[in-house]
Amino acid sequence: MIGVIAKKEFLCLLRDGRFKWSILIMILLLFTAFLTGYQRNESLREVREAAQAKNTEQWLDQDRKNPHTAAHFGNYAYKPQGTLAFFDSGIGNYAGTTIWLEAHKTNFAQNRPAQDNGAISRFGDMTPAMTLQVLLPLVIILLSFSAFAGERDSGTLRQALSLGVSNRDLLWGKFLGIAAAVGIIVVPAAAVGGAILAFGLPNDGTVVDRRGLLLVLFYLLYAVSFLFLALGVSAIARTAKTALIVLVGFWAFATFIMPKAAADISRIVTPTPTYSQFYHMTERASARGLPGAKGPLAMPLDRQVKLERDALLKKDNVPTGRDLPIYWVAYSMQIMEDRDYQIYQKFLGDLRAVFFRQQSTQDHFGVVSPLLPLRSLSMALSGTGLVDQERFNQTAQDFRIAMIRKMNGELIDHTTMKDPLYIAGREVFSKVEPYKYVAPTLGESLAGETQNIVLLLAWGILSACFAVAAVNRLRA
Amino acid sequence: MLGANGAGKTTTVNCFLNFIKPTSGLARINGIDVQEDPIGSKKHVAYIPENVMLYRNMTGLENLRYFSKLGGHDYSADEYRALLDRCGLQREAVDLYIDGYSKGMRQKVGIAIALAKQAKAVLLDEPTSGLDPKSSNEFSELLLELKAAGVAILMVTHDLFRAKETGTRLGIMRQGELVREMLADEVSHTEIEQIYLEEMKY
For testing contact with chain A, the best of B15, B70, B120 (most A CBs within 10 A): B70
Nearest residue of A to residue B15 by CA position?
A162
**C-beta separation of A321 from A313 below 8 A:** yes
CA distance A380 to A374: 10
Residue A157 exposed, middle or buried by CB count within 10 Å (0-12, 13-18, 19+): buried
Chain A residues near residue B124 by CB distance under 8 angstroms: none
CA distance A381 to A195: 18
Mean pLDDT of B57-76: 93
pLDDT of residue A35: 86
Q: What average pLDDT does chain B have?
A: 90
pLDDT of residue A284: 92
Q: Do B52 and A161 make contact, defined as CB atoms within 8 angstroms? A: no
pLDDT of residue A91: 85
Sign of CA dihedral A61, A65, A69, A71: positive
Tell me the pLDDT tens digit for each residue of A266-325. 999 999 989 899 889 999 999 999 988 888 889 999 999 999 999 989 988 888 878 888
Nearest residue to B133 (alpha-carbon basis) of B100, B154, B162: B162
* Facing B55 at nearest CB: one of A1, A4, A156: A156
Chain A interface residues (partner B, CB cutoff 8 A): 1, 4-5, 8, 11-12, 15-16, 154-156, 158-166, 475-476
Tell me the pLDDT tens digit for each residue of B70-127. 988 999 999 999 999 988 889 999 999 998 898 889 999 999 999 999 888 999 998 8
DSSP letter at A92 equals G
CA distance A244 to A154: 16
Give A4 to chain B, closest Cα distance, Å: 7
Give B192 to chain A, closest Cα distance, Å: 31
Tell me the pLDDT tens digit for each residue of A309-336. 999 899 888 888 788 888 888 899 999 9
Which amino acid, residue A192?
A: V
CA B138-B139-B144 angle, to 5 degrees, is 100
Decide: helix, strand or coil at residue B181: strand
ipTM given for this complex: 0.89
Domain count, chain B: 1
DSSP3 helix / strand / coil % (chain B, rounded to 5): 45, 15, 35
Nearest residue to A403 (alpha-carbon basis) of A425, A428, A429, A432: A432
Tell me the pLDDT tens digit for each residue of B133-162. 888 888 888 889 889 989 999 999 988 888
Give A461 to chain B, closest Cα distance, Å: 27
Give B137 to chain A, closest Cα distance, Å: 24
Nearest residue to A82 (alpha-carbon basis) of A441, A395, A384: A384
**C-beta separation of B102 from B131 below 8 A:** no
Q: Do A155 and B67 make contact, defined as CB atoms within 8 angstroms? A: no
Number of C-beta neighbours around residue A6 at 10 A: 20
Pairing of strands B152-156, B28-29: unpaired
Element housing A100 (H / E): strand A98-101
pLDDT of residue A124: 61
CATH of the domain at B129: 3.40.50.300
**C-beta separation of A384 from A85 below 8 A:** yes
CA distance A334 to A327: 11
CA distance A305 to A331: 10
Number of C-beta neighbours around residue A330 at 10 A: 22
A163-179 burial: b if 16+ Cβ within 10 Å, else e? bbbebebbbbbbbbbbb
CA distance B120 to B28: 13
* Ordered DSSP codes for A248-295: HHHHHIIIIIHHHHHHHHHHHHSPPPPHHHHHHHHHHHHHH--TT--G
* Ordered DSSP codes for A159-207: HHHHTT--HHHHHHHHHHHHHHHHHHHHHHHHHHHHHIIIIIS---SS-
Nearest residue to B5 (alpha-carbon basis) of B184, B125, B151, B133: B125
Which amino acid, residue B83?
A: L
Which residues, 6 or more positions from A36, have their beta carbon under 8 angstroms from its beta carbon? Answer: A125, A126
Decide: helix, strand or coil at residue B188: coil
CA distance A296 to A335: 11
Query: What are the start-end ranges of the H helices in A317-441?
Result: 328-364, 371-382, 386-414, 426-429
CA distance B84 to B91: 8
pLDDT of residue A365: 94
CA distance B145 to B148: 5
* Facing A162 at nearest CB: one of B47, B62, B72: B47
Which residues, 6 or more positions from B149, have their beta carbon under 8 angstroms from its beta carbon? Answer: none
Nearest residue to A186 (alpha-carbon basis) of A41, A29, A35: A29
- For chains A and B, count residue pairs whose Cβ atoms are closer than 8 Å: 71
pLDDT in tens, chain A (476 residues): 899 999 999 999 888 887 788 888 888 888 888 888 888 888 888 888 888 889 889 999 888 888 888 888 888 888 888 888 888 888 877 888 888 988 888 888 887 777 776 655 555 668 899 989 999 999 999 999 999 999 999 989 998 999 988 889 999 999 999 999 988 888 888 888 888 877 766 655 556 778 888 999 999 999 999 999 999 999 999 999 999 999 999 999 999 999 999 999 999 999 998 989 988 999 999 999 998 888 888 999 999 999 999 998 998 888 887 888 888 888 999 999 999 999 999 999 999 999 999 999 999 999 999 999 999 999 999 989 999 999 999 999 999 999 999 999 999 888 888 888 888 888 889 888 888 888 888 899 999 899 999 999 999 999 999 999 999 888 77
Nearest residue to A254 (alpha-carbon basis) of A463, A468, A1, A40: A463
**Where in the sequence is the domain holding B143, given as residue range(s)?**
2-200
Is residue B155 within 8 angstroms of chain A, CB to CB?
no
